[in-house]
Amino acid sequence: MSHSSGIETNGVEQIPDNQRDATPLDLFRLIFGGANTFATAVLGSFPVLFGLSFQAGVWAILLGVAVGALILSPMGLFGALNGTNNAVSSGAHFGVHGRIVGSFLSLLTAVAFFSLSVWSSGDALVGGAKRLAGLPETDLTLGLTYGLFAVLVLVVCIFGFRFMLWVNKIAVWASSLLFLLGLFAFAGPFDAGFAGSVNLGQPGFWAAFIGSALLAMSNPVSFGAFLGDWSRYIPRDTPKARIMLAVIASQIGTLIPFFFGLCTATLVASSAPQYIEANNYVGGLLAISPTWFFLPVCLIAVIGGMSTGTTALYGTGLDMSSVFPRLLSRAGATLLIGVLAIAFIFIGRFAFNLVQSVSTFAVLIITCTSPWMVIMILGLITRRGFYHADDLQVFTRGERGGRYWFNHGWNWRGMGAWIPSAIIGLCFVNLPGQFVGSLGELAGGIDISLPITLGLAAVLYLALINIFPEPAAVYGPKGPRWVYRTPVASAPLANAETA
């Protein structure tokens, strides 16, 4: 990939075929680079924070990452099919106005994960500098570190896709090597027989196990709204299996930081348990690290924070420019969202101490994003991958009409499946000490929000498109799959007209 310099001018309009020269390997690099970070290692420490043994933690992480990767993998296909991001593609199933649901979800996800990456990386950098060079750990040094980080991320995002790809090429290799170096740093004292405080057969075990698996699963699912931002540069005729394999492989790769977090958290729990009690994994890691490993920890913090931050922020800037196409360019929207996110980071960290709350916020966003992804995937399958890419751009161009206009730009079949699924899913969330929904105790303290929201979205969506058939024009020449009633004949398609 050449031309990494210069600001990217493409927004969410369809990428011309002659500019679509990215490969599934580039997609792998961006996803893995965005997840191969300190924030993922922090997620890997949660099984120990919840009291699980090392072995139970391994199984919880494997389960969460595997299920998340399988749900995530088809989300990489929309960008290649339609040459635009996933929120715009969702207009095919939610209506060209209903696609703002995807834009809103990606905005919330970006702010949460951008904040998590800046906080965890900033804390690690300042903590490492304190041990290495005696830098005092004050609100001022933390604030300066967060600010520097956030501005660096913003610069990369404004320059756009090619520059981001270049940053992630470095990040993937550097972070992986540093995490593997960490295995040597801690191999001596590590004990695979770490027992934890809650074991199989004891009350609370399954709640801790499912909670850990869901947090691990939140990592792959958090990419759902963003995959199209990068796969829109992949040529349309690229085999679908290669794109899906690149997505799954990127999630298998994240087991490196996940297991780094899990292994080191068992060591913190054994030798510095006060940090686990205070939910301060990063502080505990620095307390038990050999002196020579401080510099690698600081490097992981810088590189990882850059790649997570850029993958989160880039897509949201891209998306907001499409929601207000006449007001904001992609670079302008990225700058606006970036400044707001930076304000959130400072207010959240110093005025409200939101660090714990943001991990809760991330789980709640995932509960709302998962049913949206299920509806997109089932829509892709029922339509046999057939889309009319030009009609998806009606809203961006300020027009009306086209195949995806439905009811004044809203497809209430998709919306009618998503809204109740998300609301009922939120009622079943059970994060002890953080957020327990009104139905959260129904399963004996076990969080069953995700299976409920995923299942409900699938059943409702398939029921609605069967009971109220969609216009025939949205299906390709082969007609629908899994729809047993004849699609309704479309009204003559209004060619999109200016609103």
Q: In whole angstroms, what is the distance from residue 371 CA to residue 361 CA?
A: 17
Residue 10 has a pLDDT of 64
Average pLDDT over residues 226-250: 93
Q: In whole angstroms, what is the distance from residue 100 CA to residue 111 CA?
A: 17
Residue 208 has a pLDDT of 86
Share of the chain above pLDDT 90, in %: 33
490 or 194, which is more confident:
194
Q: In whole angstroms, what is the distance from residue 262 CA to residue 172 CA?
A: 20
Q: Which of these, 385, 427, 392, lies nearest to 406 by C-alpha position?
A: 392
Residue 492 has a pLDDT of 45
Per-chain mean pLDDT for the chain: 85
On whether the CB atoms of residues 119 and 130 are closer than 8 A, the answer is: no
Average pLDDT over residues 327-344: 82
Enumerate long-range contacts of 446-452, CB under 8 Å, 24 or more apart: 446/206, 446/207, 446/210, 447/207, 447/210, 447/211, 447/214, 448/210, 449/214, 449/367, 449/425, 450/214, 450/217, 450/366, 450/367, 450/370, 450/425, 452/424, 452/425, 452/428
Q: Within 10 A of 130 (CB to CB), how many other CB atoms are there?
A: 16
| Res. 8 pLDDT band, cuts 50 70 90 | low
C-alpha distances in angstroms, 191 versus 41, 196, 223, 270, 289?
A: 18, 12, 33, 10, 16
Map 140-165 to HEC letters: HHHHHHHHHHHHHHHHHHHHCHHHHH
Residue 91 has a pLDDT of 94
Residue 3 has a pLDDT of 45
Q: In whole angstroms, what is the distance from residue 92 CA to residue 405 CA?
A: 9
Q: In whole angstroms, what is the distance from residue 279 CA to residue 356 CA?
A: 8
Give the start-to-end residue ranges of the domains of the chain.
21-354
> CB-based contacts of 147: which residues, under 8 Å, 6+ apart?
342, 346
Average pLDDT over residues 343-369: 76
Residue 275 has a pLDDT of 83
Residue 380 has a pLDDT of 96
Residue 376 reports pLDDT greater than 90: yes
Query: Which element (helix H / strand E) includes 435?
Result: strand 435-436
C-alpha distances in angstroms, 408 versus 108, 246, 395, 417?
A: 26, 37, 11, 18
Query: Which element (helix H / strand E) includes 431?
Result: strand 430-431
Residue 161 reports pLDDT greater than 80: no
Residue 260 has a pLDDT of 93
Q: Does domain 21-354 bear CATH number 3.40.50.300?
A: no
For 190-226, the pLDDT digits (tens) are 888 998 888 888 888 888 898 889 889 888 988 888 8
| Res. 359 pLDDT band, cuts 50 70 90 | low
Convert 400-409 to b/e letters by CB count within 10 Å (16 or more is b).
Answer: bbbbbbbeeb
Average pLDDT over residues 423-449: 84
| Res. 296 pLDDT band, cuts 50 70 90 | confident
Convert 216-242 to b/e letters by CB count within 10 Å (16 or more is b).
Answer: bbbbbbbbbbbbbbbbbbbeeebeeee
Q: In whole angstroms, what is the distance from residue 58 CA to residue 52 CA?
A: 10
Residue 355 has a pLDDT of 58
